[in-house]
Amino acid sequence: MATQADAQELAALRALSASIGLNPHMTQAAGGNTSLKAGDTLWIKASGTWLKDALSDDIMVPVAMAPLLKAVEQRDPAADKPQAFAIEDLNPRGLRPSIETTVHALMPQRVVLHVHCVDTISLAVQADGEAEVARRLGDIEWAWVPYFRPGLPLARGIAEKLRPGVDVLILGNHGLVVAAETVAAAEALLHRVRSLLARQPRTTAAPDIAALTALAGDYRLPADVEAHAVALDAESLDMAEAGSLYPDHVIFLGQGSVVAKPGEDVAGVIARLGAAPVAILFPRAGVLMRGDASAGADAMQRCLSDVTARVDGEARLNYLTAAENDELVNWDAEQYRQKLNAASTA
Ligand SMILES: [Zn+2]
């Protein structure tokens, strides 16, 4: 840390990060990340760690910014492995920087917040999302970045869209980035953008816990009662069944969603698929999670309910393609993040 002012800002960022991480409408599981630039060093959340732990745990890693930005500019695959740019003398725990480090390095502002805000995602999955965001954000300097896999591809997509003065990015099928010169200004901008993008979720009936329990076998109820909503609303269920809407869904829950057919119990679904999915949606009853599902999987299953309940039922949606699903499943950096996530929640 270069100066006392930087240290104070880093402390403020950790407090803000923890409060963001505790709000499931803002970020879920190990998703989302925050950063502070101090001189040539970028302090960024470590891969696999949860923002909610930012005060109780050391989750920020120092990264040398100039060589990382050079790698992005030169389309050097090294930019996809930000751990190569961690400043090891200041990183005694050997943490890996977030796979989204390049997003933060590219923004010129000192403080960058990246969140998987459910209101933003609900717009960012709609084919007409860019026009709808434009209508809502008014005179804010923002840019729309179409979907790219996080890492070097997303960094290149952002570099193409950045122009001087932009301090808000809407990432298609992904989330929100806000940036400012101070933690307080970044927090204020985050709340302003979120309130402009806020959408009223459709409400649903209560889950049928008795029916779910009778179908469950080795499966269990989700951690949050809110997770059931996607199976209780016909429009949300159709959206979920049609595919994967954003990357962390694929990483924690697999491709798309599995919906039980009429009369099927958990054993019947597993027999039909020849595999045990992480979660199963039972129309008009609710959701069941595999017994060994991680805390991250629970957070993402709830996120699916929170996002789909906000999407306009009439809207055409953009789904991740088969190739985009595959590159997430077979991705080294993500396998590392999942391993850490499993270890930290075991
Ligand atoms: Zn993200």
- Residue 272 CA to ligand 1 centre (angstroms): 33
Distance from residue 117's CA to the centre of ligand 1 (Å): 10
**43-79 pLDDT per residue, tens:** 999 999 999 999 999 999 999 999 999 999 999 999 9
Q: What is the pLDDT of residues 324-336, one digit of tens each?
A: 999 998 876 666 6
- Which of 226, 237, 234 has the alpha carbon at shortest distance from 299? 226
Interval between CA 289 and ligand 1 midpoint (Å): 24
pLDDT recorded at residue 346: 40
Separation of alpha carbons 216 and 266, rounded Å: 6
CA 214 to ligand 1 centroid distance, Å? 37
Query: C-alpha 336: how far from its chain's center?
Result: 16
Give pLDDT tens digits for 123-145. 999 999 999 999 999 999 999 99
Distance 293 CA to ligand 1 centre (A): 21
Gap from CA of 31 to ligand 1 centroid (Å): 6
pLDDT for 330? 82
Residues of the chain with pLDDT under 50: 345-346
Q: How far is the CA of 114 from the centre of ligand 1 (A)?
A: 6
Q: How far is the CA of 98 from the centre of ligand 1 (A)?
A: 10
Which of 61, 73, 66 has the alpha carbon at shortest distance from 36? 61
Q: Compute CA distances 343 → 37, 95, 179, 334, 340, whole Å.
A: 29, 14, 32, 14, 5
Opening angle at CA 262, ends 256 and 264, nearest 5: 80
